[in-house]
A and B are shown apart, each in its own frame.
Chain A
Amino acid sequence: MVEDDAAARDALQHLFRHDGWEVTVAANLRDGLVALTRPVDWVVLDLLLPDGDGVQVLEFIRRKRMRCRVAVVTGVTDQKQLRHVAGLEPEVLLTKPVDFEQLLRIIERTDADADGGESI
């Protein structure tokens, strides 16, 4: 999870762990890219980070053809910027404030769809 806002990061970490996920957190872009050296299933990504644009994480994942899925959760309201992010095809793109149950439902559905697709 790459998120610079302490309250949101703390909450998401708590809620995902409570739901049985193993979570690695990063508060900035650099730590986020470092965390990707270990295999992960999902990346929950904020866009405006103190040391750069979170899009770089998404671009890195796409460039390296990593198998992890990406949920972009952002407060960005600029349509141009959002279109650019959508162009990189993250599995999930949500704008803040996000309800955790909703995020979890979408993540689980995406996993189920993809796994279903693979078994066929």
Chain B
Amino acid sequence: MALVLLTVVVLLGYLLIALEWRRHEVGLLSGVRRRALRRMRYTLVSGAVVGYGFIPVAMVWPGWRLYALALVLTGLLVWRLAWTRRDVKVLCRAVTRPRNTGRAQAAHAHAEVQRRSFFLNALGHDLKNPLHGVTLQAQVAETCLSSNDPDGVRRALRLMHRCTDEANALLNNFLDLGRLDCQPDAPVMAAFDAAEVLRGVAESNRVVAEQKGLALEEEIPPELPVLSDREKLERIAQNLLSNAIKYTNTGKVLIRGGVEGRSLILEVEDTGPGIPPEAQEHLFDAFYRADHPGVAQQSGYGLGLAIVDRLVRCLDGRVELDSAPGQGTRFRVSLPAAVCEPAT
């Protein structure tokens, strides 16, 4: 009995190693799976301690069968306390994910085509919207001109300008992504104050957040001297923050900057609808847009995060996601060896 349990513990150990390997291969680890792995680690450590403790006890104590019973009970207790059904489901899905067989590849290609088609439809919709706005506002300007209303004309022109800006930003994102995929820019490293950059990004998003009734909070130290690529950092923070604001309808959005070791840490947290585990795996794919209730098919989802992913990789950094439906989302970017020694 004890031997069986020990074998189970060893097999679980191999499974854990496989999952850790998978985690490195995928590069992004969702909060759900990370928590499941942590619980699994606790289970294994407790199991191994109790299991291997059995060997010396059996040698000196003939009544070891009682100990075996205690072992089983402990095992059950650990299992019950440490694992939830959801963890088991998440881990099972990670282990039984389709391998690179022909059928899996065909399914993957089909999914990619579908995502692309969905993306092109979304891009079409997103471009038609500002175009529609410009067309109608031009007609408003005409009626204002004929009724001698210069303020109305000015207002219409301002709105037309906003529409063209929107279309321009969308096209720029699209082109940037294509460029980053084909030939990523080499990082342009320079010393600068990241706190100033992050505060600037927060300020530029404040009006939009306030228009949506969201609180935009900053947790940024007075100074964050770093050696990194200023433009890329700004773009990463901008995309994460504007994305958080876009998908959060009530509550707050928080941008946080800090240092961990010699890494620069950037976190963006929101109280939005959260991202389901199955969508988290694809979130950084170029043509993916999560469908979550309450924020049906909004614009631009596929591009912003895909660009973040490529820029972070370009800076040898890492982006992690912690999210669950109904519990908001937290993106954490860490850029290694970016922090300068404070000037003395």
Contact surface of A with B, Cβ cutoff 8 Å: 5-8, 10-12, 14-15, 18, 48-53, 73, 75-78, 95-101
Main secondary structure of the interface of B (DSSP, over half): helix
CB distance from A16 to the nearest CB of B (A): 11
Write out the residue numbers on chain A whose beta carbons fall within 8 Å of the beta carbon of B249.
Answer: 50-51
Q: Indicate if B139 sits at the interface (CB-CB under 8 A).
A: yes
Q: Indicate if B124 sits at the interface (CB-CB under 8 A).
A: yes
Contact of A96 among B132, B139, B295 (CB under 8 A): B132
Nearest residue (CB) in B for A49 is: B296
Q: Indicate if B298 sits at the interface (CB-CB under 8 A).
A: yes
- Asked whether, in the complex, the Cβ of A7 is within 8 Å of the Cβ of B136, the reply is yes
Write out the residue numbers on chain B whose beta carbons fall within 8 Å of the beta carbon of A18.
Answer: 143
Write out the residue numbers on chain A whose beta carbons fall within 8 Å of the beta carbon of B152.
Answer: 14
Nearest residue (CB) in A for B155 is: A10
- Asked whether, in the complex, the Cβ of B133 is within 8 Å of the Cβ of A75, the reply is no
Write out the residue numbers on chain A whose beta carbons fall within 8 Å of the beta carbon of B162.
Answer: 7
- Asked whether, in the complex, the Cβ of B135 is within 8 Å of the Cβ of A14, the reply is no
CB distance from A69 to the nearest CB of B (A): 20
| 13 more A-B residue pairs beyond the given contacts A7-B133, A97-B135, with a C-beta to C-beta distance below 8 A | A6-B133, A7-B160, A10-B137, A10-B140, A11-B159, A15-B139, A15-B140, A48-B125, A48-B298, A49-B296, A75-B128, A75-B132, A99-B139
Q: Indicate if B131 sits at the interface (CB-CB under 8 A).
A: yes
Separation of A97 and B137 alpha carbons in the complex (Å): 11
Contact of A75 among B129, B156, B294 (CB under 8 A): B129
Interface residues of B, CB < 8 Å — how many?
A: 29
CB distance from B166 to the nearest CB of A (A): 9
Nearest residue (CB) in A for B294 is: A51
- Asked whether, in the complex, the Cβ of B132 is within 8 Å of the Cβ of A98, the reply is yes
Most buried by B among A12, A77, A96, A98: A96
The contact sample of 12 A-B pairs, CB cut-off 8 A, is: A7-B133, A8-B129, A11-B139, A11-B140, A14-B140, A15-B136, A15-B139, A48-B297, A49-B296, A50-B298, A53-B296, A75-B129
Main secondary structure of the interface of A (DSSP, over half): mixed
CB distance from B132 to the nearest CB of A (A): 4
- Asked whether, in the complex, the Cβ of B124 is within 8 Å of the Cβ of A48, the reply is no
Contact of A10 among B130, B135, B159, B295 (CB under 8 A): B159
Separation of A99 and B132 alpha carbons in the complex (Å): 8
Separation of A101 and B135 alpha carbons in the complex (Å): 11
Separation of A73 and B131 alpha carbons in the complex (Å): 13
CB distance from B150 to the nearest CB of A (A): 15
CB distance from A77 to the nearest CB of B (A): 4
CB distance from A14 to the nearest CB of B (A): 5
CB distance from B338 to the nearest CB of A (A): 36
Write out the residue numbers on chain A whose beta carbons fall within 8 Å of the beta carbon of B195.
Answer: none
Separation of A48 and B143 alpha carbons in the complex (Å): 28
Write out the residue numbers on chain B whose beta carbons fall within 8 Å of the beta carbon of A98.
Answer: 132, 135-136
- Asked whether, in the complex, the Cβ of B121 is within 8 Å of the Cβ of A77, the reply is yes
Q: 1/0 per position for B153-196, CB-CB distance to A under 8 A?
A: 00010011011000000000000000000000000000000000
Separation of A50 and B273 alpha carbons in the complex (Å): 13
Nearest residue (CB) in A for B135 is: A97
- Asked whether, in the complex, the Cβ of A11 is within 8 Å of the Cβ of B295, the reply is no
Write out the residue numbers on chain B whose beta carbons fall within 8 Å of the beta carbon of A11.
Answer: 133, 136-137, 139-140, 156, 159
Separation of A99 and B128 alpha carbons in the complex (Å): 13
Separation of A50 and B293 alpha carbons in the complex (Å): 10
- Asked whether, in the complex, the Cβ of B128 is within 8 Å of the Cβ of A95, the reply is yes
Separation of A116 and B160 alpha carbons in the complex (Å): 39
CB distance from A102 to the nearest CB of B (A): 10
CB distance from B84 to the nearest CB of A (A): 31
Nearest residue (CB) in B for A76 is: B125
With A7-B137, A50-B249 known as contacts, the answer to whether A97 contacts B128 (CB < 8 A) is yes
- Asked whether, in the complex, the Cβ of A5 is within 8 Å of the Cβ of B129, the reply is yes
Separation of A76 and B159 alpha carbons in the complex (Å): 22
Separation of A99 and B131 alpha carbons in the complex (Å): 11
With A11-B159, A51-B296, A53-B296 known as contacts, the answer to whether A75 contacts B139 (CB < 8 A) is no
Separation of A101 and B142 alpha carbons in the complex (Å): 12
- Asked whether, in the complex, the Cβ of A52 is within 8 Å of the Cβ of B294, the reply is yes
Separation of A66 and B137 alpha carbons in the complex (Å): 31
Separation of A52 and B124 alpha carbons in the complex (Å): 19
Nearest residue (CB) in A for B120 is: A77
Contact of B295 among A50, A76, A100 (CB under 8 A): A50
